[in-house]
Protein backbone atom coordinates (compact mmCIF):
# COMPACT_ATOMS: atom_id res chain seq x y z
CA UNK A 1 0.00 0.00 0.00
CA UNK A 2 1.24 3.54 -0.78
CA UNK A 3 2.28 5.95 1.93
CA UNK A 4 -0.60 8.02 3.33
CA UNK A 5 -0.43 11.63 2.17
CA UNK A 6 0.11 14.15 4.94
CA UNK A 7 -3.09 16.09 5.55
CA UNK A 8 -2.69 19.87 5.14
CA UNK A 9 -4.96 22.00 7.29
CA UNK A 10 -5.10 25.80 7.15
CA UNK A 11 -6.07 27.57 10.37
CA UNK A 12 -7.29 31.16 10.02
CA UNK A 13 -6.59 32.74 13.40
CA UNK A 14 -8.00 36.12 14.36
CA UNK A 15 -10.67 37.93 16.32
CA UNK A 16 -12.94 38.39 13.25
CA UNK A 17 -14.63 41.41 14.77
CA UNK A 18 -16.27 41.28 12.23
CA UNK A 19 -15.20 38.75 9.57
CA UNK A 20 -15.01 40.41 6.12
CA UNK A 21 -14.41 39.65 2.45
CA UNK A 22 -10.64 40.22 2.81
CA UNK A 23 -10.45 37.29 5.27
CA UNK A 24 -12.35 35.04 2.84
CA UNK A 25 -10.10 36.02 -0.08
CA UNK A 26 -6.99 35.36 2.07
CA UNK A 27 -8.28 31.92 3.11
CA UNK A 28 -9.08 30.94 -0.47
CA UNK A 29 -5.70 32.19 -1.72
CA UNK A 30 -3.92 30.16 0.99
CA UNK A 31 -6.03 27.08 0.22
CA UNK A 32 -4.95 27.12 -3.42
CA UNK A 33 -1.35 28.32 -2.93
CA UNK A 34 -0.55 25.76 -0.21
CA UNK A 35 -2.81 22.94 -1.47
CA UNK A 36 -4.77 22.83 1.76
CA UNK A 37 -7.39 20.12 2.29
CA UNK A 38 -9.46 22.45 4.45
CA UNK A 39 -9.37 25.89 6.03
CA UNK A 40 -10.54 26.08 9.61
CA UNK A 41 -11.53 29.56 10.80
CA UNK A 42 -10.53 29.92 14.44
CA UNK A 43 -12.10 32.97 16.13
CA UNK A 44 -10.11 33.69 19.27
CA UNK A 45 -11.86 33.57 22.62
CA UNK A 46 -9.84 35.91 24.79
CA UNK A 47 -6.78 36.97 22.75
CA UNK A 48 -3.52 37.39 24.67
CA UNK A 49 -1.76 40.78 24.31
CA UNK A 50 -5.04 42.68 24.33
CA UNK A 51 -5.74 45.15 27.06
CA UNK A 52 -9.21 46.12 25.92
CA UNK A 53 -11.72 43.39 25.17
CA UNK A 54 -13.14 42.80 21.71
CA UNK A 55 -16.15 44.77 20.56
CA UNK A 56 -18.38 41.73 20.26
CA UNK A 57 -18.78 38.57 22.34
CA UNK A 58 -16.98 35.46 21.08
CA UNK A 59 -20.29 33.73 20.30
CA UNK A 60 -21.40 36.58 17.97
CA UNK A 61 -18.01 36.64 16.20
CA UNK A 62 -18.28 32.86 15.80
CA UNK A 63 -21.82 33.05 14.33
CA UNK A 64 -20.69 35.68 11.78
CA UNK A 65 -17.82 33.39 10.73
CA UNK A 66 -20.28 30.51 10.29
CA UNK A 67 -22.60 32.68 8.16
CA UNK A 68 -19.68 33.96 6.04
CA UNK A 69 -18.32 30.48 5.28
CA UNK A 70 -21.61 28.55 5.01
CA UNK A 71 -21.55 28.27 1.21
CA UNK A 72 -17.98 26.94 0.96
CA UNK A 73 -17.45 23.24 1.70
CA UNK A 74 -13.65 23.76 2.04
CA UNK A 75 -14.14 26.25 4.89
CA UNK A 76 -15.14 25.31 8.45
CA UNK A 77 -15.33 27.27 11.70
CA UNK A 78 -13.98 25.93 14.97
CA UNK A 79 -15.18 26.75 18.49
CA UNK A 80 -11.97 25.38 20.00
CA UNK A 81 -10.51 28.68 21.24
CA UNK A 82 -13.88 30.05 22.29
CA UNK A 83 -14.59 27.00 24.42
CA UNK A 84 -11.13 26.70 25.96
CA UNK A 85 -10.96 28.68 29.20
CA UNK A 86 -8.32 31.42 29.54
CA UNK A 87 -6.34 33.32 26.88
CA UNK A 88 -6.21 31.81 23.36
CA UNK A 89 -2.58 30.72 23.03
CA UNK A 90 -1.78 29.50 19.53
CA UNK A 91 0.52 26.72 20.80
CA UNK A 92 -2.40 25.21 22.76
CA UNK A 93 -4.59 25.34 19.64
CA UNK A 94 -1.95 23.70 17.43
CA UNK A 95 -1.39 20.93 19.95
CA UNK A 96 -5.12 20.34 20.36
CA UNK A 97 -5.50 20.18 16.55
CA UNK A 98 -2.62 17.70 16.27
CA UNK A 99 -4.43 15.62 18.90
CA UNK A 100 -7.65 15.67 16.84
CA UNK A 101 -6.26 15.33 13.31
CA UNK A 102 -3.19 13.22 14.13
CA UNK A 103 0.51 14.08 14.29
CA UNK A 104 0.81 13.43 10.56
CA UNK A 105 -1.13 16.63 9.79
CA UNK A 106 0.71 19.74 8.61
CA UNK A 107 -0.82 22.88 10.06
CA UNK A 108 -0.61 26.20 8.19
CA UNK A 109 -1.52 29.00 10.60
CA UNK A 110 -2.74 32.02 8.63
CA UNK A 111 -3.11 35.41 10.25
CA UNK A 112 -2.33 39.11 9.82
CA UNK A 113 1.32 40.09 9.29
CA UNK A 114 1.18 42.53 12.23
CA UNK A 115 0.19 39.70 14.55
CA UNK A 116 2.99 37.47 13.18
CA UNK A 117 5.46 40.30 13.76
CA UNK A 118 4.94 39.67 17.48
CA UNK A 119 5.34 35.90 17.27
CA UNK A 120 8.59 35.83 19.24
CA UNK A 121 6.66 37.20 22.23
CA UNK A 122 3.96 34.50 22.06
CA UNK A 123 3.81 31.56 24.48
CA UNK A 124 6.58 29.04 23.64
CA UNK A 125 7.68 30.73 20.37
CA UNK A 126 10.31 28.12 19.35
CA UNK A 127 7.82 25.32 19.78
CA UNK A 128 5.05 27.19 17.99
CA UNK A 129 7.37 27.81 15.00
CA UNK A 130 8.36 24.14 14.92
CA UNK A 131 4.81 22.82 15.04
CA UNK A 132 3.24 24.85 12.19
CA UNK A 133 4.03 26.84 9.09
CA UNK A 134 3.00 30.49 9.56
CA UNK A 135 1.44 32.47 6.74
CA UNK A 136 1.53 36.23 7.23
CA UNK A 137 -1.25 37.86 5.21
CA UNK A 138 -0.36 41.43 4.28
CA UNK A 139 -2.43 44.43 3.23
CA UNK A 140 -1.41 46.53 0.18
CA UNK A 141 1.46 48.84 1.08
CA UNK A 142 2.66 46.67 3.97
CA UNK A 143 6.36 47.24 4.70
CA UNK A 144 7.85 43.75 4.37
CA UNK A 145 11.20 44.93 5.77
CA UNK A 146 9.52 45.10 9.19
CA UNK A 147 8.91 41.33 9.12
CA UNK A 148 12.24 40.45 7.52
CA UNK A 149 14.19 42.38 10.14
CA UNK A 150 12.22 41.13 13.10
CA UNK A 151 11.92 37.45 12.30
CA UNK A 152 14.14 34.56 11.29
CA UNK A 153 13.58 32.73 8.00
CA UNK A 154 10.86 34.83 6.41
CA UNK A 155 10.28 33.70 2.83
CA UNK A 156 8.22 35.36 0.12
CA UNK A 157 7.43 32.16 -1.73
CA UNK A 158 5.38 29.06 -1.17
CA UNK A 159 8.02 26.92 -2.90
CA UNK A 160 10.64 26.97 -0.15
CA UNK A 161 10.88 23.70 1.81
CA UNK A 162 11.95 24.93 5.19
CA UNK A 163 10.49 28.34 6.03
CA UNK A 164 8.40 28.76 9.12
CA UNK A 165 6.97 32.12 8.10
CA UNK A 166 5.74 32.82 4.60
CA UNK A 167 4.35 36.15 3.41
CA UNK A 168 1.19 36.19 1.31
CA UNK A 169 0.14 39.51 -0.22
CA UNK A 170 -3.64 39.97 -0.37
CA UNK A 171 -4.90 43.11 -2.16
CA UNK A 172 -8.44 42.46 -0.81
CA UNK A 173 -7.07 43.03 2.70
CA UNK A 174 -7.41 46.73 2.00
CA UNK A 175 -10.68 45.88 3.78
CA UNK A 176 -10.22 45.85 7.57
CA UNK A 177 -12.45 45.08 10.55
CA UNK A 178 -11.51 48.41 12.14
CA UNK A 179 -12.66 50.32 9.05
CA UNK A 180 -15.93 48.35 8.98
CA UNK A 181 -16.66 49.20 12.63
CA UNK A 182 -15.95 52.90 11.93
CA UNK A 183 -18.18 52.84 8.84
CA UNK A 184 -21.09 51.43 10.85
CA UNK A 185 -20.66 54.09 13.56
CA UNK A 186 -20.69 56.77 10.86
CA UNK A 187 -23.69 55.20 9.05
CA UNK A 188 -21.59 54.54 5.93
CA UNK A 189 -22.16 51.40 3.81
CA UNK A 190 -20.48 48.04 4.46
CA UNK A 191 -22.31 46.15 1.72
CA UNK A 192 -19.85 44.10 -0.42
CA UNK A 193 -17.11 44.58 2.19
CA UNK A 194 -18.69 41.76 4.21
CA UNK A 195 -20.86 38.88 2.91
CA UNK A 196 -24.58 39.77 2.63
CA UNK A 197 -25.58 37.41 5.46
CA UNK A 198 -23.05 38.99 7.82
CA UNK A 199 -24.23 42.46 6.80
CA UNK A 200 -27.82 41.47 7.67
CA UNK A 201 -26.81 39.84 10.97
CA UNK A 202 -24.91 42.99 12.03
CA UNK A 203 -27.85 45.21 11.09
CA UNK A 204 -30.47 43.00 12.75
CA UNK A 205 -28.54 43.01 16.04
CA UNK A 206 -27.48 46.66 15.90
CA UNK A 207 -23.80 45.72 16.34
CA UNK A 208 -21.00 48.33 16.35
CA UNK A 209 -23.33 51.36 16.38
Chain residues in the site for ligand NAP (CB under 6 A): 12-15, 23, 26, 44, 47-50, 88-91, 110-112, 114-115, 122-123, 137, 173, 176-178
CB 36 within 8 A of CB 65: no
Q: Are 105 and 97 in contact (CB under 8 A)?
A: yes
If the CB atoms of residues 15 and 69 are measured against ligand NAP, the closer one turns out to be 15
Query: For residues 104 and 146, which CB has a smaller minimum distance to ligand NAP in the complex?
Result: 146
Please give the residue whose beta carbon sits closest to ligand NAP in the complex: 112
Nearer to ligand NAP, 17 or 201 (CB): 17
- Identify which of residues 2 and 85 has a Cβ nearer to ligand NAP in the complex: 85
Angle, nearest 10°, between helix axes 58-69 and 196-205? 150
What is the pairing mode between strands 105-112 and 154-155? unpaired
Smallest distance from ligand NAP to CB 2, Å: 34
The least CB distance from residue 160 to ligand NAP, in Å, is 21
Amino acid sequence: MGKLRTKRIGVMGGTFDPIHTGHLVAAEEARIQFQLDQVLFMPSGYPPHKEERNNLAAEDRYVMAVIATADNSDFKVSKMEIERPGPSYTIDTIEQLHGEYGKNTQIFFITGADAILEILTWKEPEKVLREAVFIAATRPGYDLAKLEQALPKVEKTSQAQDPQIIVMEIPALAISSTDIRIRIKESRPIRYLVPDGVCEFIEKNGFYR
